[in-house]
Amino acid sequence: MIRAAGFPEAAVRARARGGPSAVFPDADGYGGAVFGAAAPEGDDLDRVRLVPPVFVPHRLEKMYELGREPLYSDVELGRSVGGFTAPLPVFLCAFGSTQVGTGLGVAVSEQAGRLGVPMVIGENVVPMHGYGRVDAVEDGLLARIRAYARAVPDGLGGVVVQQSTEDADAEVWNLVYSDPDATRLLETGRLAFELKVGQGAKPGLGGMTVLSPSVAAAVADRYALDDSLGDVVLRSSSPGTFTEEILRQQLRLMRNNYPRARVWVKLHPGRDIAHAVRVAWCAGADAVTVDGAEGGTGWAPTVFLDHVGLPLAECLARIGKHDGDLLVSGRIWEGARALKCLARGATAVGLGRAALIAAAEDPSDGLIRLIACLDLELRLLLSALGKYTLTDLTDDDLWSPTDDQL
C-alpha cells in the first residue's frame, strides 16, 4: 500500500474509486441535505463585531418623539424591499430545485405569506415540478403562488418569480403574468420577476440537480445530462451568456414586456460585482440580489463550494456606497449577520437554507418562529446601537479586527 503523509491521499483514492461522482458531495445525501459552502472557522462577516457607542444622539432624537426613554420595542424594522413593503428587512431566497425543496415549497410559501415577507420562487420549479394549471401538481409554481397569495395581509409582501435561460423555453414569466391566480398580486404591485444571472453556491455554473435516470429522460430535450455519476444523472442548466449589453437589454425587455411587475436581478459573487450591480440598477432593476459564495442550497461540485466566488463581505466592500436596492444572502439565519450586512449597505437579507430547515422542523410554524427570533434580535441590536430605524445604520456600527483605521 502506498502511503503519502500530508497529501490528501484519501480524496485521491475516493476519486480513483468513484470517478466523476467524487467531484460532488455524496449523492446518497442528496434530497436530505442542503448544500452551500461550509465555514467552520467563520468568515469575515463573522469576525466583524457590532459596537454600540456610549453616546447615543439618535436615542435622544427618538426620546423627543416618544416623550419617554426608547426601548427595543420602539425600533422600526419595516421597509421597502425591491419595491415591496416588508415588515422587516428580510426576504426568502429561491431554493434549489432539489428534492429538499419538494414538498416544503408550499409550506414555506404559506408561512412567508402570513408574515408578509417577500418570497422568491426559484428557477426550474416549472420545468421540474410543473406549473400547476393544466398539470395538477401539488408543489408546482401556481400552488406556491396561491398559498402565498391566500395568506398574505393586504399591503405587505410580494412574490418574485425567477426565470433562467432554460426556463425561458417554458415561458415562466409569460405564464405567470396573465394567470388569474397572480392577478391579485399583480394588481396590488406585489409581483416581481427575477432574472437569474448566477448563484452563490456555484458562481459561473448554472443550476444542477441529481435525477433518477427515468426523470432525466423526460427532460433530456431541455437540459444537459451527465450520466458519469453512476446510478444517478446530473442535470445542468447553462449559466447563460451575459455581457453588459445583454444584461442591460434583457432588463429593458422585462420592463417593456411586464410593465406592471417589479424587476429583480440575481447575481453570483463575481469579481466584477460592483460594476454588474450598477449596470442592473441603471437598466431599471428594482432590486439586485447578490448571493455570497457562502450561500446556496443547491447541488454543487465541492471544488466550487470550497474555492470559487467572493465571500459576501467582500461583495459588500466592493459594491461600497450606492443608492440602489441591494439584497444579499449567504449563511444568514440570525440577527447579527443580518445587521452587519444592513450596516454594510444591504437593503435586506435573504434566508435560504435557514428557511428550508425551519420549515422542515415545523411545516406549519417553523419559519414564522425563526423569523420572530430574527425580528427580536434585530430590534435588540439596533436599540443597543442607539438607533431606531434601519436608515440610521452605518459602517461605524461595525468593528473589524482587520480594519486598519480602527
Amino acid 13 reads: R
349 vs 186: CA distance, rounded Å: 23
Please name the residues in contact with 196: beta carbons below 8 A apart, sequence gap of 6 or more: 94, 123, 162, 163, 164, 240, 266
For residues 41 and 245, which CB has a smaller minimum distance to another protein in the complex?
245
CB of 237 to another protein, least distance (A): 10
CB of 170 to another protein, least distance (A): 9
Residue 18 parent element (H or E):
helix 9-18
Per the CB < 8 A criterion, the answer to whether 255 and 242 are in contact is: no
CB of 331 to another protein, least distance (A): 30
Pairing of strands 398-399, 49-50: antiparallel
For residues 244 and 361, which CB has a smaller minimum distance to another protein in the complex?
244
For residues 17 and 260, which CB has a smaller minimum distance to another protein in the complex?
260
Distances (CA, A) of 109 to 122, 181, 375, 398: 12, 14, 19, 34
Please name the residues in contact with 325: beta carbons below 8 A apart, sequence gap of 6 or more: 80, 81, 82, 83, 281, 286, 287, 288, 347
DSSP three-state, residue 386: coil
How wide is the angle at C-alpha 90 spanned by C-alphas 85 and 94, nearest 5°?
105
For residues 24 and 177, which CB has a smaller minimum distance to another protein in the complex?
177
User: Which residues lie near another protein (CB under 8 A)?
Assistant: 163, 165-166, 168-169, 171, 173-175, 177-178, 180, 183, 195, 221, 238, 240-243, 245-246, 248-260, 284
For residues 9 and 171, which CB has a smaller minimum distance to another protein in the complex?
171
For residues 136 and 253, which CB has a smaller minimum distance to another protein in the complex?
253
CB of 165 to another protein, least distance (A): 5
Here the cell at position 338 is 443580518
For residues 92 and 254, which CB has a smaller minimum distance to another protein in the complex?
254
For residues 110 and 179, which CB has a smaller minimum distance to another protein in the complex?
179
DSSP code string of 42-82 = --HHHH-EE---S--HHHHHHHHHHSS---GGG-B--EEET
CB of 252 to another protein, least distance (A): 3
CB of 42 to another protein, least distance (A): 39
CB of 246 to another protein, least distance (A): 5
Name the β-bridge partners of 234.
Answer: 210, 226
CB of 310 to another protein, least distance (A): 24
Name the β-bridge partners of 226.
Answer: 234
